Structure 1
Amino acid sequence: MREVVIASPLRTPVGRFGGALAAVPATKLAETVLIALLERSGLDPAAVDGVIAAQGYPSMEAPAFGRVAALDAGFPVTTTGYQLDRRCGSGLQAVVNAAMEVQTGASEVVVALGAESMSNAPFYTVEGRRGIVGAGLMLHDALTRGRETVAGRRFPSPEGNVGAAERLRRDYGISREAQDAFALQSHRRAVAAQSSGAFDAELVPVTVPGRKGDTIVDRDEHPRADTSLESLAGLRPMLGRSDPDATVTAGNASGQNDAAAAAIVTTPERAAALGLTPMLRLRSWGVAGNEPALFGVAPVPAANLALARAGVGFADLDVIELNEAFAVQVLACLADWGLDAEDPRLNPRGSGISIGHPIGATGLRMLATLAHELPALDGNLALETMCIGGGQALAAVFERV
């Protein structure tokens, strides 16, 4: 199959839940990053065959999200588009799907897009069309409901992903102190990167309208420079009422966030013809499934598969981007791999705990970050992987071009 390269990976800043980007719908975040992608790369939108969009919490305000986002961003009507959902792995899955289209010759140029506005995730009802019975209709919170139903009726998760994280704490014997220490490290690395301007090349500012005029958001909102072990230790475990030994808190878990990210996927030959400058080459990828209650360690088999297909091992990697859904699941994966939590290759600029976890955009956010980390660290190979609620994980090996 044909070789695949990645060009111009970009992302918006990541906003906090209900924060600076809350007034901006996912469609607008997507439009913003797509327009910037065209402007910075010089890509003719007519050369794009399609836009594959990842989104975890869609609504019918923008069905077939990739198509809507492309049209909103000014792509021609000949540009096709669709949306996909592999939960936390959705953004990386958009890249993989785009790569498969290019590898097989079905497409020449595809834009992979991920967008999420968790601040605007819908409340919904499934009973309304049958009429109102009793006092009224039940409205479900899409965020909460998605975590409860992600593994279907045979694997119920009434405590959501937090309950699964606590399972790993028990199985692996991971202390609250170790989780908080890892969370602090994540924030320190993200704040250091932010302060040094390391994120600047990958960021696309977002204009937020307001009653007193527009506001420009040009930096991640989630990293906290004031985070300390003392402040983290003072947070209550989310399942503390039902489990006196619970350790997972809002401080050592990822956030609920808003962002969009995108990248161009094509062949080296087509990139040269279009004047694009590739940053990465896709070497391999792998997906794995495991017991839903242990989804946090699913990156272990997924990454092992991707590394084996690339013919490399952990010793060959210069960057390891492992999304931080929870500190405890990162520590559990590291234990299985035999890696140290302070390994400088691991999330050098922070990850889900510090930067945030806008579900559909995370995989492409990570891609944009690692694409700029590799040259800054004079590295060559990177692994990107993340656990996925419901018992899945996705991983890919990228090579610097």
Structure 2
Amino acid sequence: MTELRTAVICAPLRTPVGRFGGALAPVHARTLAVTVLEALLERTGIDPAAVDGVIGSQGYPTMESPAFGRVAALDAGFPVTTGGYQLDRRCGSGLQAVVNAAMEVQTGASDVVVALGAESMSNAPLYTEEGRRGLPAGGLMLHDALGRGRETVGGSRFPTPEGNVGSAELLRREYGISRAAQDALALRSHQRAVAAWESGAFDAETVPVTVPGRRGATVVDRDEHPRADTTLEALGGLRAILGRNDPDATVTAGNASGQNDAAAACIVTTPERAESLGLTPVLRLVSWAAAGNDPLRFGVAPVPAANRALERAGLGFADLDVIELNEAFAVQVLACLADWGLDAEDPRLNPRGSGISIGHPIGATGLRMLATLAHELPDLDGDLALETMCIGGGQALAAVFARV
């Protein structure tokens, strides 16, 4: 077999992350995707004809943009010769798009691929599967894609009737994690994200979004989700989501990730092709791994995934300078850290916040994290980073990146 080529990451960018029903709600996922793709072309100066394909990740698609990567590419001005497709690995979709792009490049199937992730959870569809067979006696049932996806993600054999929150509470019981520890982690996340914005650390990775409105357009250029005014007292005053059925429940809207809107993208190619196109690589993919586990314990699936990725790279946690572990829930992060033997206040862990503070726009999250860690590494004078996230339904994805 021919030796695999080196895959490098160039120009990772993201839009601001909007709140559910917030400033970006009028903008659909395709428009967010087009915004970040157009910025990618403008900032790099790359000829779009040089791009072989666009891999578009999205967790809540509609048929407004079938084969999401292809449609977004066409709308962003890529030629008809640029292919594209759509993938869904739930919370890991954005990182999977990067990994898929890297595999195409490494094997020589493609030379230049754009990995794209976009999500507008504010516009997730309400749908029916029964409408074509006539109107049922009780009327048509419209399913909310957001809630339904969390209930069905384990299939018929591994039901998750209480969704991801129920899975998080299971880990709370299993690991004995207190509400106070969860709220403390959530507060640190917000403080770090707010500090990053105040210092200008997010500026280079962020692409503003123009939102049309009846009184004229507005420009969104900052994440909506981080809260500068939150406190332990405020977090402690929030009700547990499953509190009615479980008096010991601890997961709240304050110590869990949000439902959000955003897009992110990057170029994946070889060092040689990057040089010929005038691109500057910022990261090199070192290794990656996926793992599966019981859907009811999906929050700790990053443990085996990260362990495998590090083992394949011949590395350990002591070798890492940045650890980007998506904060689906504070309790899930704390459970992973317990298994790894890492401290919750480790400065390498999400130095600029994560899902609890920045938000979790499902299809875009993995690429948002990549854009952030690509800028964190040089700013912190680091060389190696781990990116990993749990995935609803009992999966996880992890990848090790080296600074170029």
Would the TM-score normalized by the shorter structure come out above 0.5? yes
- Tell me which residue corresponds to 1:85: 88
What are structure 1's unaligned runs of at least 5 residues? none
Q: Tell me the alpha carbon deviations over residues 239-291 of structure 1, each in whole angstroms, 9 at most, x when there is no partner.
A: 00110100000000000000000000000000000000000000000000011
Q: Tell me the alpha carbon deviations over residues 30-75 of structure 1, each in whole angstroms, 9 at most, x when there is no partner.
A: 0000000011011110000000010000000000000000000000
- Residue 200 of structure 2, aligned match among 190, 197, 202: 197
Find the aligned partners of 2:51 and 2:44 in 1 and give their Cα distance: 13
Find the aligned partners of 2:311 and 2:20 in 1 and give their Cα distance: 38
Q: Secondary structure at the match of 1:258?
A: strand
- Tell me which residue corresponds to 1:149: 152
- Tell me which residue corresponds to 1:270: 273
- Residue 135 of structure 2, aligned match among 132, 137, 140: 132
Find the aligned partners of 2:13 and 2:200 in 1 and give their Cα distance: 15
1:176 partnered with 2:179: yes
Write the letter of the residue equivalent to 1:81.
G
- Tell me which residue corresponds to 2:390: 387
- Tell me which residue corresponds to 1:8: 11
What are structure 2's unaligned runs of at least 5 residues? none
- Residue 323 of structure 1, aligned match among 307, 326, 342: 326
- Tell me which residue corresponds to 2:302: 299
Q: Secondary structure at the match of 1:393?
A: strand
- Tell me which residue corresponds to 2:338: 335
Structure 2 counterparts to residues 226-245 of structure 1, below 5 A:
226-245=229-248
Q: Tell me the alpha carbon deviations over residues 197-239 of structure 1, each in whole angstroms, 9 at most, x when there is no partner.
A: 1000000000000000000000000000001000000100000
Write the letter of the residue equivalent to 1:63.
P
- Tell me which residue corresponds to 2:37: 34
- Residue 72 of structure 2, aligned match among 58, 69, 74: 69
Structure 1 vs Structure 2 CA RMSD: 0.4
Q: Secondary structure at the match of 1:360?
A: helix
Deviation of the 1:135 alpha carbon: 3.4
- Residue 309 of structure 1, aligned match among 307, 312, 329: 312
- Residue 123 of structure 1, aligned match among 122, 126, 136: 126
Q: Secondary structure at the match of 2:95?
A: helix
- Residue 61 of structure 2, aligned match among 58, 62, 83: 58
Write the letter of the residue equivalent to 2:214.
R
- Residue 260 of structure 2, aligned match among 257, 262, 265: 257
- Residue 251 of structure 2, aligned match among 248, 256, 266: 248
Q: Tell me the alpha carbon deviations over residues 96-115 of structure 1, each in whole angstroms, 9 at most, x when there is no partner.
A: 00000000000000000000
Find the aligned partners of 2:61 and 2:138 in 1 and give their Cα distance: 28
1:209 partnered with 2:224: no
Report sequence identity in percent.
Answer: 84
- Tell me which residue corresponds to 2:373: 370
Q: Secondary structure at the match of 1:97?
A: helix
Find the aligned partners of 2:136 and 2:167 in 1 and give their Cα distance: 35
Find the aligned partners of 2:207 and 2:199 in 1 and give their Cα distance: 17
Q: Tell me the alpha carbon deviations over residues 12-44 of structure 1, each in whole angstroms, 9 at most, x when there is no partner.
A: 000000000000000000000000001101111
Find the aligned partners of 1:216 and 1:172 in 2 and give their Cα distance: 44
Deviation of the 1:136 alpha carbon: 1.2
Find the aligned partners of 1:2 and 1:133 in 2 and give their Cα distance: 56
The alignment's TM-score, normalised by the length of structure 1, stands at: 1.00
1:108 partnered with 2:132: no
Deviation of the 1:133 alpha carbon: 1.5
Q: Secondary structure at the match of 2:146?
A: helix
Q: Which runs of 4+ in 1 moved over 6 A?
A: none
The alignment's TM-score, normalised by the length of structure 2, stands at: 0.99
Find the aligned partners of 2:309 and 2:224 in 1 and give their Cα distance: 32
